[in-house]
Structure 1
Amino acid sequence: MLQRVHELLPLKPPRSRRAVRWHVGESAVLSLFGHSCVRKICDKNGFVFETLSEPKRSIALTFEEFDLVKDGYEFDFDPLGATPGKAAAILKSDEQMIADLPDEERELVKNKLIAVKKFLLLKARGAASHYRQNLAPILLKMQDELFAPKAPPKGGQMGPPTFRLVGPKRFLEWVNAYLEMGPLGLVNQYHLCGWRDDRYSREERPILMDHVYRYLSREAPTIAFLWGEMETKFANLNRGRIEAAGLDLRDYQGIDLARVTKEFKEHMDGRGVALLTCPAIDLLRVEIRRLPPFDVIAARKGEEVAQRFFHPSKGGVQGLIRPMQRVEADDWTTHLHTLVMELLPLWDAISPELREAAPKTRCVFSAAICCTTRVIPAMTLALRTGASNTKQLLRMSVSDKTALARSIGCETPWEYRATMDTFVVDEGSALLNAETELVCTDLGIAFKSPQIDTPQQRPKIERFFQTLDIRSLLRFSGRAFSNPQVRGKYESLARACVTVEELAALIVRFVVDQYHNLPHAGLGGETPRACWLRLTKKRAPTTPPGPSRVRLAFGEPFTVTMQAEGIEIFGNWYRSQKIDELFQRSPQRDYIVKVDGEDLGAISLRVDGGWLTVCGPEIMKGVNVAIWEAALANLRRQDEDLQNLVKPVVHRAIEFAQAGDAETRKRLSILYRPKTREQLEAIRIRMNQTVRHREEVLSPPTGPIDILGGRVFVGTKAPPNGPAQLLPPPEEPMAQIEATTERVRSKVPRAVPANRQPAPEIRLRKPPREWKPKERK
């Protein structure tokens, strides 16, 4: 919401084109880029500043650069920071500014300043001096004039004065401190008060610190327990020293040998026994509080808990303005037991024992979320984790999924796709692997992996999993819950009734139609889809890769042999003009091609200059291997000879396979996976016959074929004299047209009635002679 409100703020006035040349004195102290600096050189070009901390460094800025830097939030300027008086005031007050003081201390300094100013004014008039005997009555008079108590509103006794002046000696110290150090010199040095020496000896302090460090243990001992252990330690030491001195312990019964009093310690010192005093429990608490908090939590609860607790979480990465600028992905084991089987119609009729024996599992749900718009561009569902899930997420993020959503019944388009700027995953092996990083490199995507066990660095995807669990999976029976304590005595396995295919369809329907159209708190009440549509109009996402780059990134390599007809793979021929040139230079040579199992319309051929795109049959565009294999299986059942198939028949077979694939994807939805390398190789081996496509249906000829058949001759090409006949209607069989070829040609008059057009005559043509090369002697 803040980003949307910031857009409504008025525009800032433009800066002046001419920079102001500011003065920086020699006694000034500046803060530039986090470093305290002083001016070293000032000339016509600009300033040269030197840092106060070691090692010394020089920072050169022109007047224009200094004019821009001074308006930044990291810039600070103290014109008197390097003067001796300011340095002495800081050392005395232990503060940099008057505003840093507490309210009571600041009020005290204000009253002192009023009194000192009044004295200096009287001294300037000659009514006061530094002589102490004459200063005492002046201070009494100033007390009554400046700090007299206020009269009560309705009678009664007078209240105490607001401020009481000190004696002449102390007052003159105030005056001298003010003249030397300014108002900061009037601050009381309470920070220097107190006992600074250690009250415990060199033998007592190590024992105390030993018990302090024992607090850093996975057993998590309490402070009271450690203090009891420390008392026992000191009592044993003192008892041993008394025995070593030859004294009888029975004489000291009833005396606490751990908390030794000062009088008893002095008495034992007189007898030559140096006793130790156990520190109080308050000192033990103070020393434990001084331990680094990270070390305390890491030692008592574990390093992972400490990293998660002290990780600075600021709501994710700031400054995201473009859709798909940062995409986070992760795996999550669903809190729902599902049936790994198709739900039979007789499920309600079978016994509970058979239902309980059905295989059940918890699926692994993988998803990717756009951190700018909160849309879900990709998600998969699998029975186990693996690199194929991450690869499928990357492919779905650059593809349109609307057809998949429509097949399930979604009413909202699933069109979110682009080339991501940054793809962020966790440290799991299923997401962080070499194959994923190589695919991201080929697609031009930055691949990052935050620190392990820090979900705060991926807050968007972690929160989406909670939303899915609360809003979608909560309504189904068979929930596994997050831990056994929350689950209690709920029988998750016995209540499982949702299949994996049904769960996949339910998740897609929830995300596409419900999640994308509900107000999102992270977007200020705007829906993810509305945010996507709004930002894509202002800052368009990066264009997704084309089919060739997708094929190179996600395709599988194969070795093929180039033939005169082109390249044959998966039952299709791929040919182009460059392929013919390659064949002429080096025929029957093996090449490496990359095939995209989701689109057999083209392949990529490895040549010396890189990769060459070779197109195949037009009807194979957008057809995947599964559809094509089903179409070939259907064609084999219809015709054994696959060498002369016609295009309409192939179209019908592909349409049949696409209908079956649509039903399969509707049932699998995000469970669908592209074919692996081994599966593609097995399909390639099964396709041992190649399909050739033609445009029209051919029927076997019954006689000579007239190439001019069906034309109307006019002018000099009119038919000769003879009985003219009209053209047969289109619905008459081809046999009637062929019968006209056997009639004898006769002359007919060229002038014919206007309302009657002579029928054309089909002339007989000799069949073309077979061409033979000319023999040379």
Structure 2
Amino acid sequence: MMDFPPFSIPPYSRIVIDGVEMNLIEDGANGKVFEPVDKSRLPEFLSNKDIIALLHHGSMEIVKGRYDPRKLELADRFPYLRDLPEKKQKQIHFRLEWIMRFRGKGAREGNIDDNRMQQILTEIRSEYARDMVLARKNSHAKSKYSYEDGEFNLRLIGASTLRRWYRDYSLSGDDWRSLVDGRGSGEKKSKFTDESRELEGRMLKRYLSSTRPNAAYLFRVMKAMERRINRNRRAKGLTNFIKVCERSTFYNRIEDLPDDMKFIAREGEKLARMRYLIVAGRERGLPLDLVEGDEWKVDLVVLLNKAKVWDCLDKVEQAAFRKASKRVWISVAIDYATNCFLAFRLHERAPSVETALATFIQTNMDKTRFAKAAGCKTPWNMYGGLKDVRVDSAAWYEAEGFAASITDAGARIAYPPAALPPLRGTVERMFGILGSLALQNLSGRTFSNVVKRGDRDPRKEASVDIDALSQIFVRVIVDIHHNTRSTGKLGGLTPREAWNQLSHHKQKIPAPLSGSLIRHVFGVNYTRIIQRAGIKLFGIRYQSLQIQELRRDDTDREVVVRVNIYDLGAITVICGAYAYTVPAVLEGMKGRDYWTWTAVARELDLEDTQNAERTQEQLDDAFLAVDAAGDAARAATNLGSPIPTAKQFAAVDRRITQTLQIVAESKYTQEAREQDFNRSSFLSEVWGLDDEPEPDDLDVPAGDIVKAEAEEAARAARRRSSRNSAKATPESEQGGSTDDDFYNQF
């Protein structure tokens, strides 16, 4: 029987269940009682099982500390660290580095008076430089950038400044937002007089006229009026001359006017309604106290030797594993208290921020579906909210994008020196377990099956199937490692027993991110333009009043769209410091993943077509056909599949130029139903299956990187040229226009 541990919900949290904001009024071992904030209905009891199901499906969102009195104003001004400019992110992390090291000093040495502050500042800088030099020296994967010891000096600050940062941070409940520098955010006093600004305002008002005057003409008129006023005052002996703005400033002020205001004033309300009409549509601690992450190049030859299956492979298979060892990476996140794997990925590309985030998103997900897809007999239900995250000093973990996401997830991140057993022992030992004891339970025949042989010359074309190999590792983790007793810190318990025991009896597990929160924190970024019909993505329309208000303010606004590849039911649109959830117009998209939808788009023949009208029945049949084939499900649940990136997203949008429209049965939909759709390698392209493994340049001299990049660019150009010639179509089939073309002429 599966256990359903209770999740803890901290005080002052914002709780939303199925779109209704709730208050937690009773918290018990078997469940919780919630009541709507507006008291529109009676309190409702939800069991631990019910809560887990709601979180899993994204129907429940928990924003930790949202209503903390110490953080209310700050949370409204700066919702997420990830959305601040990179310069601001670096500033926050710099201040946090000083604060946390100063706090550690105080914990070890007691109260620090002013007389010792200069000594303490010097010691902190020395410790920081020592730690960073040691981390770089012992890091298992060197960065392609060169670092000298002198570059690790922590910039010196004043004692009063550090105390002020520390006080503000502590009083705010350890909220990073209290460290945002507010300088420059106030309104600046204008250097122009009230008379000058009034004259400029007149000209701006004249620009908003149905006569549509030219901006250059208005500027000349304004300067002429300035000269006439000053001439009259000079004749009267006055000295209070006026000075209007320069030409570039005047043009900028016109540009800053909202686009819809300018269009309505100059073109009229009728054309404005057509342009902006919205298209309607439908000790060892406790679990998750500390999570350790690492990424490692896998030496498959060494692993198979330790597992005593290397000699069972023939020469062709051994050669395939030797070749694969040069490009296969493993990425994990492990719970320090229980040794449970919270995340795992096997990939063929060099580590990056994308691979790190694709791994850490799993810490907030129930991974049982991944385990079932790999053939596991036990569930993989170890997940929850992050508290403290410890990673090494690799370049991808130090990047601002990763650090900001972990901070937005409500966790603190630490970069300890590498290769020190007290700090990284758990992660290091896990790789040893995967490569020795656990793999001995799998035969050589199992590993023979992951080698693919070509049909012409198998000795030249044999290669390792990364998807099949990742399935083996998942089975090792879920069925073997999680159920193997440990005589070390677990005291004879298995990791699964330790997780269940501690999560039920010692402390509730922090609630995971879900819904729009997990998408916003760990989603993949993509850039799109807001159109009259909303935002088009993968042939799906996303629409809301909020993004249309953004478009009215700036008609050609380009926004950052954040996508959760496991749920395309909604996207997050980023505008400055604000994030908006925008739902899909197409019904039934909630919970649909990227792989399933692109396979459905292929089944419906949506790519390279000017008419995307289909019936609801055709859409349902396509989902059933894709589900029966199983290819999309295998790609979505296989932790060795390529991670979709902005490159794959762009490939989809190049091929699917129209959004799917659900219509009644017609002659066209009947013709579309009868077509043979298996004509292209669309899915291989957008799933990244045909992509060659990226070169691992982490250990390559800087001079060779440019050469490698140039060679890869040349190969990509040849592949594009080959595909274009193979897909050449008559010019008459390549025409067509989007649904915005008519309105954009205005």
Question: Higher relative contact order by CA 8 Å / sep ≥ 6: 1 or 2?
Answer: 2
Q: What's the TM-score, normalizing by structure 1?
A: 0.42
The structure with the largest helix share of the pair is 2
Question: Over alpha carbons, which structure has the higher Rg?
Answer: 1
Q: What's the TM-score, normalizing by structure 2?
A: 0.44
